[in-house]
Amino acid sequence: MGTYVVLSLLYNAYLHFGKSETWYPDPVTHLVAKQTSIITTSVGYKAEIIPHENEASMKLLINDRYLARIVEGCNALSVMALFAAFIVAFHQKWKPTLLYIFVGAVLIYCANLFRIVLLAIALYEYPQYEKILHGVVFPAIIYGMVFLLWVLWVRRIPAKIVEDEKTV
């Protein structure tokens, strides 16, 4: 719990101090929006991002149609903090733990990018399914991946450690 609180406080400080006109709304969200646009364009759609005029987000347009806002919550940093806190709670040796957190964060970041790209394309092609796509299907992708990474980590805990903890 302590790890999650510390990471959340660091994330909130980042959001507070990470604002600039160059990286609007914040550097990581801006990067996610830019990379989403690049990937979407690479699969055959004309994608563009522009700063939202009324809020801290980026507008995502596909074929000149405004489809979605990419907001701070889309950057997956809070999901990575939750992932890391769980891994630290079940840490073994620090080197493999930190390596797993790094690899897991990279996988979560990449999965999140593809999740946003798929969501944008799905919203473009099937706008009538917006609520289920954004509210159910695509959150399930990112949280499902985190859950899978957690399960893989916990399964690596040697049986002796589990037995020793049961006797305490």
Give pLDDT, residue 60. Answer: 96
| Predicted pLDDT at 123 | 94
Cβ–Cβ contacts within 10 Å for residue 8, how many?
A: 14
26: confidence class by pLDDT, cuts 50, 70, 90 = confident
Q: How confident is the model at residue 164 (pLDDT cuts 50, 70, 90)?
A: low
Closest CA to 72 of 122, 18, 118: 18
Q: Is the pLDDT of residue 117 over 70?
A: yes
Is the preceding peptide bond at 25 cis, omega within 30 degrees of 0?
yes
Q: What is the mean pLDDT of the chain?
A: 89
* 82-109 confidence digits (pLDDT tens): 999 999 998 888 999 999 999 999 999 9
Angle between helices 138-155 and 94-125 (to 10 degrees): 160
pLDDT confidence tier of residue 65, bands split at 50, 70 and 90: very high
pLDDT band per the 50, 70, 90 thresholds, residue 159: low
Q: What is the rounded distance in angstroms from the CA atom of residue 16 to the CA atom of residue 14?
A: 5
pTM metric for this prediction: 0.86
Displacement of CA 158 from its chain's centroid (Å): 29
CA-CA distance, 129 to 126, in Å (whole number)? 6
pLDDT tens, position by position, 1-21: 888 899 989 888 887 776 666
Report the pLDDT averaged over residues 63-80.
93
Task: With cut-offs at 50, 70 and 90, classify the pLDDT of residue 157.
Answer: confident
